[in-house]
Structure 1
Amino acid sequence: MAAAFNQGNRIMKAIIALTVLTIIILVVITVLTREKQAAQQKRREYIKKKPLSNHEQVLYWRLVGALPDHMVLAQVSLSRCLGTKDSGGLDEMTSKNLDFVVCDKASDVVAVIEIDTKNYSSKTVSKDDERKYKALKKAGIDIIRWRANSLPSEADIRERFTLLDPSKKLRVVKNKTHQTSIFGIGIGKYRNTGAG
């Protein structure tokens, strides 16, 4: 009986010793990991980046020149100009950005402008972009897409936007050959606002 008790006592001491050793190892690993992360944060060098690509910079200044009586906003979060009547519905799209938003002097959105990069096929629209464009269209916001490799001039932009009435609101002129649009290209259920 005493031998069994001594054997059980040794096993219990071994288990306690292993448990203490495991806890010590975990604490050491945690401390070393935190110190390494803190050292990395101190060493991390932050660099200044341009918020707009070269194509976006070119188009921004052309938009500003062509539409002097309007606000031209770049890289705008979708949630800044689109909401829902209920509390749900927009959550999955809140992280989406719009290349440009053109507003009138009252900050009402006149149009959204997206630049299609050279590797972007104008005949297909990603599912995320399709959902984004559908939501904008349902809210009554016009979407204009221009190819990065053939951006419009200031005169072309002025031609694309024309005054509707004395309230100074703009509308989008249809059927310009130098412009692309999602409407009628890849998503047949939309009306065509331009060929490209």
Structure 2
Amino acid sequence: MLDLNQLIFFIIGCLASFTLLCMLFPKFFYRKQKFYPRRVITHFESKMYARLLQALPQHHVLAQVAFSALITNHQYKIRNLFNRKVTDFVILDHDFNVVVIIELDDPSHLGKEKADAERDAMLEEAGYRVLRYTNIPSAITLKNDILR
């Protein structure tokens, strides 16, 4: 029969062995997470969203809208040009017609002017008006720019 000291030593040995196994072979003991949450819009974009709601209370403001919800083409090769692109904001009137598309360029857009122009050209060819801002304008400026 084991005495108390032997029992404690045995339990500590088992825990140490288990800990060592967990460290050496973590994939057998921990489920690898495949998916992680992500913010829908950045902090900068959330400020713009609030400003748009303030400037246009009678309109619907959508954030992070896929180009594929706005434009299409019958050719797969052409659809591939905009397949994974997303626009920052889409302003809709009360009948859910697109009034304007708004792009908010933070400092990460520096050096990407050509790509931004190509994105705008796709949307404009489909008949949309695109406004680009590098900072968050006042509610009055937004309202005047959008409703002009």
TM-score, normalised to structure 1, is: 0.55
Question: Which residue number corresponds to residue 120 of structure 2?
Answer: 133
1:70 counterpart (44, 53, 59): 59
Runs of 4+ deviating beyond 6 Å:
35-38
In the alignment, what sits opposite 2:70?
81
**Matches of 1:37 and 1:146 in 2, distance apart?**
46
**Contiguous gaps of at least 5 residues in structure 2:** 1-24
Using CA pairs below 8 Å that are at least 6 residues apart, which structure has the higher relative contact order? 2
Amino acid at match of 1:155: I
Equivalent in the alignment of 2:110: 121
The answer on 1:156 being equivalent to 2:141 is: yes
Report how many residues are paired.
123
In 2, Cα distance between equivalents of 1:38 and 1:110? 54
Quote the residue 1:90 is aligned against.
79
- RMSD, matched Cα: 2.6
Counterpart CA distance in 1 for 2:92 and 2:122 is: 18
| Distance across 2 between alignment mates of 1:105 and 1:142 | 18
Structure with greater helix share of residues: 2
